[in-house]
Amino acid sequence: MSGNERVKEFTEFRERMNERILGQDNQVVRRFFALDTQTYRAGALDVKTKEMLGLVASLVLRCDDCISYHVAQCKEAGVNREEFFEVFSVGLVVGGSIVIPHLRRGVDFLDTLEAGEGDAAACADHA
């Protein structure tokens, strides 16, 4: 699967499933999604910082979907490659060597975005 196909598949799946999930009459789910969205808005911390924190947490929790999402959001927020690798290093130190396979996939996703094969903006809306 090409990088562009991977980004497209990831984005389309998220959008389709979010629509199905949010289409249900469940206030808990809707409120959680809204809380998640509000959390990453600028406040005392800017969006870039919050997305980098989200990426570290995603690495430590070893969630590949979340890692891909936050890589795209970080890129959209202006995180450069040197900053990405500092963020990756924090996640690796906190999470330990078990993070390495997820780090590989995160760097691969970043490489895809940087190569222009995928659209970081297309991955918008966290939950």
The pLDDT value given to residue 7: 82
CB of 117 closer than 8 Å to CB of 3 = yes
pLDDT tens-place values along the chain, 127 residues long: 666 788 888 889 989 999 999 999 999 999 999 999 999 999 999 999 999 999 999 999 999 999 999 999 999 999 999 999 999 999 999 999 999 999 999 999 999 999 886 556 556 555 5
The pLDDT value given to residue 56: 98
Structure tokens at 75: 């890129």
DSSP letter at 40 equals T
Name, in order, each residue with C-beta under 8 angstroms of 7's C-beta and a sequence gap of 6 or more.
72, 109, 112, 113, 117, 118, 119, 122, 123
The pLDDT value given to residue 88: 98
